[in-house]
Amino acid sequence: MSTPPAPTRVRFAIVAVTMLAAVLLYLDRNCMGEIVKTDSFRNDLQLTPEQTGAVLGAFYFFYAIAQVPAGWLGDRFGARGIMAFYILAWSLCTAVMGFATGFAALFAARIGLGVAQAGAYPTSAGLLTRWVPFSQRGRASSFVSFGGRMGGAIAPWLTAVLVAGFSSWRPVLLIYGGVGVLFAGVFWWMFRERPAEHPRCNVGEREFIESGAPPVVAKDTAGRIPLRALVSSGSMWLMCLAQWGTNIGWVFLVAWMPTYLRDVQQFEPVAGGRAASLVLFLGMTGTIAGGWVADAAVRKFGHRWGRCGPLAATRFAAALGYVLCLWMDSPWAFVAVFAFISFISDSGIPSTWATLQDVGGRNVGSVLGWANMWGNLGAAATAGLLPWVNAHWDSNKDWHEAFLVCAAAYVLAGAAALGIDATRPVVKG
């Protein structure tokens, strides 16, 4: 018998290009948060604060509600063409914002951006399912999540530098959009729907990718969104609850932590910015660490508990971090605890992605889109929830009540995670 050829490494290129797509995803998503602060933008369009808020908020609502249909398109028509289309579409929307001359055009472009980006992560999860062996799904998912976090982290700094360099906000959006249009072509050229269709993927790599797959087979839904299966799956509702609670606790770090450090801990603007960047940077490293943990946990504890265990443990640990804030008195001690929460929360992301890939089968885009939709609705709720808590319950303005809400949300997420069963497909074969 002949020895099978050594596996090629095309799968690494596929994961890398998917990670770069995630970088662009968050770069284009978050750049407007920095642009609207600039004098160039304010003097040019002269929007009211209410209009500026509407422009920023339009993305998130439409991003949330488009998750399931956008993910389904990737399931129905294939990740190669649909993902390339999504990259092209959101890049064109980014460039169009650079031509906007008023509120209506900018608002419409942000809606388009939200709809186009909604399918990116669900479709990415689907392609990882086909291109990464089961034993490495956690690690592959961690790199894609890391790319998103990296794009979000560099967006404010890079955008500020470019706006200052051009003395205008418009060229920045045209550059971002142009890079994305080119990258859509790169994605189409490098990616194939399945390993068997890629000219540089040999038999050894195809066999390696297919090895060790769990006995979870999802039924082909003949082009339909598996809405009935999603609604009737108790495990999926628990995943949605875990996503919802997680995002309530997480959004404090990205939306309200800078305000807390400035108003309560009296950080100067520069020091506060550095502290916030440090917190989010550690979260990025958590995604990588969590990928290794996700795969190792399955080998150690089996499929079911190896998936839900890390997810539940990280949520309970994040809740403990918020509880510890009630007894802190040093400003930098708060920063250290926030950094811990950021790291431990992000380290659970790969387990989430891997679980949804396991139970999604051929419907993974729709399945991940469903869970991601509920998570984003949790994030949207937090925008008004924490200010309301501070206004009605926090008489001494120490934010302790807000910390307790975040802790309770993470406890809820952890408890829900314990009931998630990655061995049971949403659509059974």
- Distance CA(288)–CA(180), nearest Å, equals 25
Q: pLDDT (tens digit, 9 = 90+) per residue, 87-100? A: 999 999 999 999 99
Domains in the chain: ranges and CATH: 10-210 (1.20.1250.20), 227-418 (1.20.1250.20)
3-state secondary structure the chain: CCCCCCCCCHHHHHHHHHHHHHHHHHHHHHHHHHHCCCHHHHHHHCCCHHHHHHHHHHHHHHHHHCHHHHHHHHHHHCHHHHHHHHHHHHHHHHHHHCCCCCHHHHHHHHHHHHHHHHCHHHHHHHHHHHHCCHHHHHHHHHHHHHHHHHHHHHHHHHHHHHHHHHCCCHHHHHHHHHHHHHHHHHHHHHCCCCHHHCCCCCHHHHHHHHCCCCCCCECCCCCCCCHHHHHHCHHHHHHHHHHHHHHHHHHHHHHHHHHHHHHCCCCCHHHHHHHHHHHHHHHHHHHHHHHHHHHHHHHHHCHHHHHHHHHHHHHHHHHHHHHHHHHCCCHHHHHHHHHHHHHHHHCCHHHHHHHHHHHHHHHHHHHHHHHHHHHHHHHHHHHHHHHHHHHHCCCCCCCHHHHHHHHHHHHHHHHHHHCCCCCCCCCEC
Of 213, 221, 245, give the one whose Cα is nearest residue 410: 245
> In this structure, are residues 211 and 132 in contact, taking their beta carbons and an 8 Å threshold?
no
Residue 183 in this model has a pLDDT that exceeds 50: yes
Residue 105 in this model has a pLDDT that exceeds 80: yes
Q: For residue 225, what pLDDT band results from cuts at 50, 70 and 90?
A: confident
Q: For residue 21, what pLDDT band results from cuts at 50, 70 and 90?
A: very high
Q: For residue 408, what pLDDT band results from cuts at 50, 70 and 90?
A: very high
Question: Which pLDDT does position 270 carry in this prediction?
Answer: 65
Q: Please enumerate in sequence order all residues whose Cβ is within 8 A of that of 378, keeping only pairs 6 or more positions apart, or say none.
A: 243, 244, 245, 246, 247, 248, 251, 409
Residue 83 in this model has a pLDDT that exceeds 50: yes
> In this structure, are residues 384 and 60 in contact, taking their beta carbons and an 8 Å threshold?
no
46 burial level (CB within 10 Å; 0-12, 13-18, 19+): exposed
User: How far from chain centre, in Å, is Cα 357?
Assistant: 15
Q: Please enumerate in sequence order all residues whose Cβ is within 8 A of that of 291, keeping only pairs 6 or more positions apart, or say none.
A: 138, 139, 140, 141, 142, 143, 350
Task: Average the pLDDT over each of 25-29, 46-50, 65-69, 198-202 and give the range with the smallest value.
Answer: 46-50
Question: Which pLDDT does position 398 carry in this prediction?
Answer: 85
Residue 212 in this model has a pLDDT that exceeds 70: no
**Residue-wise burial string across 328-340, b where 16 or more C-beta atoms lie within 10 A, e elsewhere:** eeebeebbbbbbb
- Model confidence, pTM: 0.81
Q: pLDDT (tens digit, 9 = 90+) per residue, 290-310? A: 999 999 999 999 999 999 999
Residue 214 in this model has a pLDDT that exceeds 70: no
- Residues 111-133 have a mean pLDDT of 89
Question: Which pLDDT does position 19 carry in this prediction?
Answer: 94
Q: pLDDT (tens digit, 9 = 90+) per residue, 347-389? A: 999 999 889 888 887 788 888 888 888 887 777 776 667 778 8
On average, the pLDDT of the chain sits at 86
- Residues 236-245 have a mean pLDDT of 92
Question: Which pLDDT does position 269 carry in this prediction?
Answer: 63
Task: Average the pLDDT over each of 137-141, 161-165, 218-222, 384-388 and give the range with the smallest value.
Answer: 218-222
Q: Which has more pLDDT, 418 or 328?
A: 418
